[in-house]
A and B are shown apart, each in its own frame.
Chain A
Amino acid sequence: MDDLFAPPGTVWQPVSPALPRLRRLLLLLVVAALLVVLLVLTLLLELPVGLWLPLALVLLAVAVAGWVVVGRNARWWGYAEREEDLYVRHGALYRRLVVVPYGRMQYVDVEAGPLEQLFRVASVHLHTASPGTSARIPGLPAEEAARLRDRLTTLGTAQAAGL
């Protein structure tokens, strides 16, 4: 990968491999649901082949493209804990790198939806006084998310700087 988004003197910690699995499952579920809808409509309305076949092919193409994109994006998620700040990198097409000083953190959220709980992962979301700070790390193993949250809050309190 290129220098521009190189980690600051360390290596990027990857997110859990469960993240792409989770997102691919979600993708397949959605595509499967749409295919079922298409099938039902075809049978009920006796749609011509010229209509349902292209639609089905488009759905399949979306599934394949989504599969690839999810994998690529997951590889691009990474974070690096440094002494005084946290680096987060993400996005394969639109690349983003965020630097959040611990002293600027106001609070840390850990979120896990039903599907995420099934895969035993969670997201960690950092908030500063600026709404522009978009520091969110999805798909961390649940215990790693808890560890990171605790570490961040500890460091945040220790290095807290007022506004």
Chain B
Amino acid sequence: MTTADRPPRRLSPLTPLVRGFIVPVAVLFSTWDDLLRGDVGPVALVLLGLLLAGAVYGTASWLRTSYWIEADELRVDTGVVSRQSRRIRVDRIQGVDVSQPFMARMFGLAELKLDVAGGGAEGSLAYLTLADAEELRETLLRRRDVARKDEAGEAGEGGGPDAPPPAPEREELLARLDPRTLVLSLVLAPDTVVFLLVAVAVGTTVALMGSVGGMATVVPIVIGWALTQSRRLSAFHRFTVTALPGRLHVRRGLFTLDSATITLARVQGVAVSEPLLWRPFGWARLDVSLAGDSGSHDDDRPASTTVLPVGPRPLVLALARRLLVEAGSPDPDAVVLRPVPARARWVAPVRHRFLAAGADEHLVVARDGWTTRRTQAVPHARVQSLRLHQGPWQRRLGLADVHVDSPPGPVHVVARHRDAAEARRLLDAETVAARTARVAQA
């Protein structure tokens, strides 16, 4: 179907201003005194020239950029001198994120980021007004669903892309993170344990050597830790999870606002983490693996795969069940996990106490970790491949590992150091369960 149902549009006219905001500020800042005296020196002239050139280029770039939807494609034309035209097929869109970096937010603008199947070719539109960005996201997601239904040969209940948009569904609030919990959870984060240990070690060494000045070595450690935690604080501030049919929305941020969509059909598995110091409060964290996730998140920023950075365990599990709705909303906690044989202590002296794994009719689950207990669950229908591993020591002890392979992401279920015969049974049973679930879904 070829319908140029959306005429080409431009980005927000404020785009050049937001993109180059730092330049006028720098110019003003560096030449303020000169300007006040009415005395425009050579430096100021050069800077003003650059500013002018930047403004011209920015405006030209804005004039030459347009986007529209045609023939089930989002088309974006860009380029002042050499023109580029990017076409993104609507049915290949995996997720649409709306992000508001601090400067853009000041002007009520937002960036639209497209996650496209096949990886690599990511699309981005910066900047639109927030309302436009949200409206475009809804349009793209709706059209994607229609396009996929058409492809599957089903009659979409929407009646095709020309049908009027259905009335917007009400978003259901699932979780909202309060700042006190967030701050406390960051103070009690696993890094804190490491940080404390390092600080104590350094402090003790310094004290033993009897030099007070050496205490200064602790300062960089403290600063590094504080920076990491404040970055998380600003990213996870006002973390909100809401539900719409078929997807969840995650909104977060103090300065930069991020809004990500989790399409439930893309969920590959969930991971519940419980750091040692959170357990007295009954808190846990929830991460999700999604299909088509490029996995190339920069390390500096908290991953967008986090569905809830901290929350009461029952809430985290309720969200996990929400995410696993395609698999029948099973409860990862309801799966009976069995410990490893006592002889596993010869290969994992401490860890063997915390290892457990099990499967039920919906999920295969493994648990691991002492300082941070991680419970990871993958629905049978999402298992990619299965592996059985046995090293020489494990062979002597009659143990083996079972790996459940998932697409790149935080979830990787590994049942370590199982009794060898049980491991093979688990592998064979999981092979059958995965096949059955796959066929049932197809």
Contacts and interface: CB of A to CB of B under 8 A. Distances in A.
Contact of A129 (B391, B407, B420, B438): B407
B266 interface: yes
Given A130-B385, A130-B408, A132-B406, A101 B390 contact: no
A96 B389 contact: yes
B384 A99 contact: no
B386 interface: yes
Nearest to A131: B408
A102 B427 CA distance: 16
Interface stretch (A1-9, A43-51, A54-62): A1-9
Interface in A122-137: 128-135
B392 A128 contact: no
B291 interface: yes
B389 A94 contact: yes
B109 interface: no
B266 A98 contact: no
Contacts of A97: 387-388, 427
A163 B405 contact: no
Interface residues of A, number: 27
A130 B400 contact: no
Contacts of B423: 4
A147 B423 CA distance: 32
A74 B289 CA distance: 37
Interface residues of B, number: 35
Given A4-B421, A135-B385, A163-B268, A130 B427 contact: no
Contact of A132 (B385, B392, B428): B385
B313 interface: no
Given A8-B428, A128-B405, A130-B406, A98 B385 contact: yes
Given A84-B435, A130-B406, A99 B387 contact: yes
A8 B389 CA distance: 16
Contacts of A100: 385
B407 A130 contact: yes
Contacts of A95: 388-391, 395
Interface string A122-157: 000000111111110000000000000000000000
Interface of B: 266, 268, 291-292, 382-392, 395, 400, 403, 405-408, 412, 420-421, 423-424, 427-428, 431, 434-435, 438, 441-442
A60 B69 CA distance: 69
Contacts of A134: 387
A84 B387 CA distance: 16
Interface string A74-112: 000000000011000000011111111101100000000
Nearest to A129: B407
In this complex, which of B384, B389, B390, B406 has the most chain A Cβ atoms within 10 angstroms of its Cβ?
Answer: B384
Nearest to B386: A99
A68 interface: no
Contact of B403 (A84, A101, A132): A132
Contacts of A103: 438, 442
Nearest to A93: B392
A140 to B, nearest CB: 19
A64 interface: no
A-B pairs, 6 with minimum CB distance: A163-B291, A130-B405, A132-B405, A130-B384, A97-B388, A133-B385
Contacts of B408: 130-131
Contacts of B431: 85, 99, 101
